[in-house]
Amino acid sequence: MVLRRSTVTLRMLLVALLAGAWLVSPVHTQSPGPAAWLDAYRDVATSLIEASTSDDFAWNRLAELTDTYGHRLSGSANLEQAIAWAVEQMTSDGLEHVRAEPVMVPRWVRGDEHAEFVSPPRQALTILGLGGSVGTPPEGVEGDVVVVNSFAELRARAADVAGKIVLFNAPFTNYGDSVVYRTDGAYVASQHGAVAALVRSIGPPGLRTPHTGSVGYEPGAPPIPAAAVATEDADRIARLLARGAPVRVRLTMGARMEADTASANVVGEIRGRERPEEIVLLGGHLDSWDVGAGASDDAVGCIVTWEAARLMVSLGIRPRRTVRIVLWTNEENGLRGATEYAARHAAHAANHVLAIESDSGVFAPAGIGFSGGVAARSLVRDIGTLLAPLGIGEIGGGGGGADIAPIARAGGVPMLAYLGNPDRYFAIHHTPADTVDRITPDEVSKAAAALAVIAYVTAEMPERLPR
């Protein structure tokens, strides 16, 4: 029980950390003007930017990955085939020490799922089960729907909830604040005797598309089935109930957990020419939810960080320190790839100089966030001035990412995140609409160029980035 609870706490910490990327506003100071120490890096930075933006190589690779393998849920054959493809491609790019580091991952299976209104007159209700949800009995669960806008309202109406289906209908504000209804709603509703939970999709109103994502259970209340509904359907149910019309829904879900399966983090490097033991780490996660193509979340994060290294190899750049790319497995429903990496590399966690994650898309206008000490922040902000041709503003706060957090915590490592526009990102996040079509080649090239410049300078500068 204690172990379970600490796992949940870790998960919530990581969610909060991820959300922090969106909450922390950039720190603005007076522009210091060009820093002289950067002069040694300007020509290479220009070459990296020109090489990245001169063609659509990275976007084409993103399209190949998502067209060929589709979505890549942990435990799926698609993910394992995408991992094998990435190892092969990275090797042919000329990266070194390319390997798949084994990780056991959970396997959640969605199964068939559907829902319908029993009253008002029978009609379909589009749902998308939440990842990790338990299923229903084969005949489904049926109940009157109670709508609440907050946990406080649920507690105030606790006497109404037993035997019912609770719909959490809190409007989307930002991911960090809103996602708690998806992660914790089923558990809280179950504490009050609900038989199932529906959650208004965590995202802005879209095209009547439900958004999936993890649901968590905790000891003390039985796990109940949980599914997302589109914002339009959540509002419709709320309007019906406000008019006094009873709303009764039947929910049928075949979701289940199966035994853990073998997966891997894909790792490739450019070995440092003078200090190979010091590492600049970059990556995104190769797994995705089982809808859409996981293009923005997070195939593009894999492609742009990997592309940063490929650009260096193609220009014959071998920096002083090692540049290591990691395409993480199982970010979405377990963080086992991140946990396993931190455990496997614990002895040299402190040799990581900087940990970079791209897991917020690359939609314009994009920015960059950094989390680290004052001295490091000042240097990173200087480096950011090299990105002016890419239209990226001053580097602000909010660096971090779920996959880099464990190794960064273990080694006291500063973190940096590439942050795509959150409005566009969360409009399609965890939906069938997360496809490559929505991302432009220009957005991909610019992200790769920015990450290549940052990785190059931090791997090349004479003294390692301070903590």
| Residue 233 in the binding site for Zn ion (CB under 5 A) | no
In single-letter form, the type of residue at position 117 comes to F
| Residue 290 in the binding site for Zn ion (CB under 5 A) | no
Cα end-to-end span (Å), the chain: 36
| Residue 297 in the binding site for Zn ion (CB under 5 A) | yes
**How far is it, in rounded angstroms, from Cα 100 to Cα 266?**
5
C-alpha closest to that of 282 among 316, 307, 319, 315: 307
**How far is it, in rounded angstroms, from Cα 287 to Cα 332?**
7
β-bridge mates for residue 167, sequence order: 147, 198
* Residue of the chain from 359, 403, 434, 460 that contacts Zn ion (CB under 5 A): 359
C-alpha closest to that of 414 among 459, 352, 456: 352
**How far is it, in rounded angstroms, from Cα 231 to Cα 204?**
8
Q: Indicate the residue among 297 and 443 with the shorter CB distance to Zn ion.
A: 297
Nearest-approach distance from CB 265 to Zn ion, in angstroms:
15
**Segment contacting Zn ion (CB under 5 A): 56-64, 249-257, 290-298, 317-325?**
290-298
Nearest-approach distance from CB 361 to Zn ion, in angstroms:
9
Each residue 150-169 as x (binds Zn ion by CB under 5 A) or -, in order, gives: --------------------
| Residue 298 in the binding site for Zn ion (CB under 5 A) | yes
Q: Indicate the residue among 209 and 358 with the shorter CB distance to Zn ion.
A: 358
Q: Is 331 designated active site?
A: yes
Q: Indicate the residue among 278 and 297 with the shorter CB distance to Zn ion.
A: 297
Cα angle at 359 between 103 and 283, to 5 degrees?
55
Tokens of 234: 């959540």
In single-letter form, the type of residue at position 402 comes to A
**Segment contacting Zn ion (CB under 5 A): 76-84, 118-126, 133-141, 295-303?**
295-303
Decide if 308 contacts 451 (C-beta within 8 A): yes
Catalytic: which of 278, 331, 357, 443? 331
β-bridge mates for residue 96, sequence order: 269
Q: Indicate the residue among 189 and 447 with the shorter CB distance to Zn ion.
A: 447
| Residue 287 in the binding site for Zn ion (CB under 5 A) | no
Helix/strand/coil for 142:
strand
Nearest-approach distance from CB 68 to Zn ion, in angstroms:
20
Q: Count of residues binding Zn ion (CB under 5 A)?
A: 3
Q: Would you please indicate which residues are annotated as catalytic (active-site) residues?
A: 331
List of residues contacting Zn ion (CB under 5 A): 297-298, 359
